[in-house]
Structure 1
Amino acid sequence: MGKRFITTVQLLGLLLLGACGTPENLQSFDSKVWKDDRNGCESQRAGLLDDFEKIRKELYGKKEYVLRNVLGKPDSEELMERNQRIYFYYIEPGTQCNSRNQMSEANRLQVRINALGKVSEISYYRPVETGKPE
């Protein structure tokens, strides 16, 4: 009985570790470049917007940890009522590059996380022209 319990716990642990990765349909997006361009100050994120649009719909309904695996830690965050949050990812340089503790008027991606910890809305502060996803 003890051996079987340990084997079951080990198997469950492996399944949980595998669940923490990035889903295969989101791996085509260059997350490393996005994450390395903190606050959009190096203008790298703007060049990834067409690629982002291809995976945007796939992010809806995904858990917060999946979003963080793809886009990294948000540049800024706002806590809303009923335990909802909005994550902000800047896509162009602005005053946030000099003063990181204030919101900037620079364009940014806004991702709403609902009370269940899932992505419920993705929008831009100012809509941008992107290519149509394939």
Structure 2
Amino acid sequence: MKTYSFYTLLLMMLMGCADPARISGFDSEKWQQDKKGCQGQRNTMVNDFEAIRRDLYGRPEADVKDILGKPDAEQLMRRGQRVFIYYFEPGSQCNERNKLSEANRAEVRFNALSKVSEITYLRPIPSSK
């Protein structure tokens, strides 16, 4: 049987009991239930996503997964960078699992420290001003 120090056990308990990251005003559950944007719910949340986009900058990967859920697709880039892809609308990604779709999507780029460094859209979101 392994023996753990008091501090190791305390750290394990604290990490396991932490509440998931959330951003006020964004319905993470509704977003996450619409896998790959195939049900059309995310399409109604485009303005909500745009409102929190700046709040995602600098956040660690784990926070992004808490807020937006598991990415619909993922790309590995040079220099340890990664990109999470979240679709806004239904498209070929709903039927073809391993291919990127031309459906509009957000691309969340992480730097080598696994912090959000950039968020772009395949097609820019029209300004609601």
TM range (shorter): 0.7 to 0.9
SS in 2 for 1:78: strand
Cα RMSD (Å): 1.9
| The one of 34, 39, 42 aligned to 1:42 | 39
Letter in 1 for 2:65: R
Aligned to 1:114: 111
Letter in 2 for 1:21: P
Aligned to 1:54: 51
Whether 2:77 is the aligned partner of 1:89: answer no
Q: State the alpha-carbon separation in 2 of the partners of residues 41 and 21 from structure 1.
A: 25
Name the CA shift for 1:9/1:34 in 2 (closer, same or farther; >3 Å).
same
Gaps of 5+ in 1: none
| TM-score normalised according to structure 1 size | 0.83
Encode CA deviations 1:78-103: one digit per residue, 9 max, x unaligned: 10011101111110111111111111
Deviates more, 1:48-57 or 1:10-19: 10-19
Structure number with the higher helix fraction is 1
Aligned to 2:121: 124
Q: Is the 8 A contact 1:20 1:65 kept in 2?
A: no
| TM-score normalised according to structure 2 size | 0.86
Whether 2:71 is the aligned partner of 1:74: answer yes
Aligned to 2:15: 16
Q: State the alpha-carbon separation in 2 of the partners of residues 106 and 18 from structure 1.
A: 37
Aligned to 2:95: 98
SS in 2 for 1:33: helix
Identical aligned residues as a percent: 50
| The one of 14, 25, 30 aligned to 1:28 | 25
Q: State the alpha-carbon separation in 2 of the partners of residues 81 and 20 from structure 1.
A: 32
Q: State the alpha-carbon separation in 2 of the partners of residues 45 and 13 from structure 1.
A: 35
